[in-house]
A and B are shown apart, each in its own frame.
Chain A
């Protein structure tokens, strides 16, 4: 297990309990989406994995080491964290310097560093902006800079906080491919998200947080049934799942391809829509 979280509890200085006895484990190469209402504790949980927040009680183990004995710099070799707000993260005068900052701090050799930076710029579609000041870019592109700067650190675990927010269609497609590619390389991806279609199309497992506790944890295929039962309005089913329900289909479908297959199972391959798997 690359991540073990055991009975994690966290309170803000004002006394508000943000996380209350959260336990779960994540295997290497898993793609896990953390979903839940606004204020459920999703971002707080994500920030614990990288050591920005420290538990009031309970433990977190990353790659066999307890995080309470590790500094943020040491954890940064294992866990990369992409902030919800890129402006919390960006500081350098150009995109290429920003993306090179992490690998330089981790003291990778220069050749390896250059390779990681170029690969991260390419994967995030930022090559054309390499010499631009991040603050001259739109919010959506700044978010991709923040992502690239984390990818360049080549960490086994990548944690994304609301990565699709403010992203246009092409960027969301790029992001989905990136998540799939990281997992295919055996890297572990956790994301906090409200984008349920992104979640069903690119993640294996869903953890639902509610009021600082885990309300549900399981494979993405079983998740629509949970949401339908436990509906409090904060979670919305994927578009195709809702359409399937409206047609009276008992077994949920989640994706366009799954829907078309169910509509008319026939000979020959199902068409693969260009927009989404």
Chain B
């Protein structure tokens, strides 16, 4: 459970706040996505919810952030380890550098949590398997491709079984197969009751997976709603977010009378195929309104 109320934050040397009067809640079993342009404050928000901002960054914060009922202003970072997991944007920054194989790297967090050795294997191997890393388990983390390092960074957090998980663009370097693995893992987490806050630039999978989408623009939440409501909003580009290609196609088609009346613009392939299917059927009947 994440609760953010009237929260503002300014970095130590900055002249304007990175986040201004932000308020939202994410319930257990909910996957909430955060989208927005560069410099919107998305990574800062990830840091706030996982406790690294302002504990590690310094700066001025106002308002309340509660995770699982605990006020983060009064909770030391060490008190959140194992409960809140943060997958950083750049996997190169997350890999410990202290371990020589992928498997040991995944074990690193568990060692620090004092998990008994016999339990470790039972937890590590399924994570390697779920993320397609079993084949590279004995390689050095630094010998992996960028995408495989990203999967490793996700695995090293998943294995600690946090109840709140914050992911900052976890799929940015992944191929389609890796992307699918990550979203499957997120689906499983949600079933297990985990609260997920996901920052993402690629809208397509998000549209099918998120319960709710928040849009950040220059530190402020400018929109929130279901993926269908937010991703079809015509202001999306102004907010620095790329609309899906088929949403754009449907908007142009609608202007030419080629999208079914009263049907909302599609944000999933299924919805696009259904709407355009109706259009092509109508055109095939020679009906050109």
Contact = CB atoms under 8 A, between A and B. Distances in A.
Interface stretch (A53-61, A65-73, A74-82, A160-168): A160-168
Which range contains the number of A residues in contact with the other chain? 35 or more
A211 B170 CA distance: 24
B36 to A, nearest CB: 8
A162 B169 CA distance: 14
Interface string A174-218: 000000000000000000001001000000000000000000000
A273 B272 contact: no
A85 B245 contact: no
A62 B36 CA distance: 40
A114 interface: no
A16 B89 CA distance: 28
A79 to B, nearest CB: 20
Interface stretch (B50-58, B139-147, B159-167, B186-194): B139-147
Contacts of B280: 247, 263
Contacts of B179: 236
Interface in A228-277: 232-236, 238-240, 242-243, 246-247, 255-256, 259-260, 263-264, 271, 273-276
A138 B172 contact: no
Contact of A256 (B140, B146, B249): B249
Contacts of B252: 256, 260, 271, 273
Contact of A87 (B90, B180, B201, B256): B90
A247 B277 contact: yes
Interface stretch (B19-27, B78-86, B108-116, B235-243): B235-243
B253 interface: yes
Contacts of A242: 269
Given A16-B143, A168-B38, A234 B255 contact: no
A138 B242 contact: no
Interface string B221-258: 00000000000000001001111111011001101101
B276 A263 contact: yes
B39 interface: yes
A37 B280 CA distance: 35
A170 interface: yes
Contacts of A240: 245-246, 249
Contact of B143 (A12, A37, A232): A12
Nearest to A162: B173
Given A168-B201, A243-B272, 9 more contacts: A39-B147, A170-B38, A197-B245, A239-B244, A246-B277, A256-B248, A263-B279, A264-B288, A275-B248
Interface of A: 12, 14, 16, 36-40, 42-43, 84-85, 87, 136, 138-141, 162, 165-172, 194, 197, 232-236, 238-240, 242-243, 246-247, 255-256, 259-260, 263-264, 271, 273-276
30 contacts: A14-B139, A36-B175, A38-B145, A38-B146, A39-B136, A39-B144, A84-B173, A85-B90, A85-B146, A136-B13, A141-B39, A166-B172, A168-B36, A168-B201, A169-B237, A172-B242, A194-B176, A234-B176, A234-B177, A235-B176, A236-B179, A238-B245, A239-B244, A239-B246, A246-B273, A263-B253, A273-B249, A273-B252, A276-B245, A276-B248
